[in-house]
Amino acid sequence: VGPIAEEWVFRACMCPLLFAAGLPDGANVAVASVIFGAAHLHHRFDARERWAAVLVQFTYTSLFGAYSAYLFLRTGLVYGPIAAHVFCNYMGLPSFYDMVEHRRRHVVTGAYIIGIVGFVLSVAVDTSFRPAIFASIFWPEQAGCGVDAI
């Protein structure tokens, strides 16, 4: 229920309002992600978490909020952000301590690095070239690039 409710509020409701207010897609992603991260600051007061732990949670929820807002704006649909949210909640944060202690830590560390770099590059290419794939009203796409060019 959590991922559906959060994605509905923070993506399906907030991102179109920011879009209607005239924010460009990059600013929309930034504002929505910081608000999403701030919505998780209550753990400092509810669970009496230490500020360091809350700062870590704010950072990763803001980063996830940015990706989720990007997914919503890119596709114009809330299904992708919900699926990503469910997946991330299920998997949790990677255990970097286990990575360092792993008997094949160089292979595991390399896999982490390759995965992160590949993810960042794929999003960067999509945001730079903006291929016409989803026809979202929130995301200006390039004509002659993407599925319609085939």
To 10 degrees, what angle do helices 51-75 and 105-129 make? 40
Q: Which residues pair with 142 in a beta bridge?
A: 131
Cα(51)–Cα(129) distance, integer angstroms: 39
Among residues 40, 43, 49, 141, the one annotated as catalytic is 40
DSSP code string of 64-129: HHHHHHHHHHHHS-SHHHHHHHHHHHHH-S--HHHHHHSTTHHHHHHHHHHHHHHHHHHHHHHHHH
Catalytic annotation present for 6 = yes
106 is catalytic: no
User: Which residues are part of the catalytic machinery?
Assistant: 6, 40
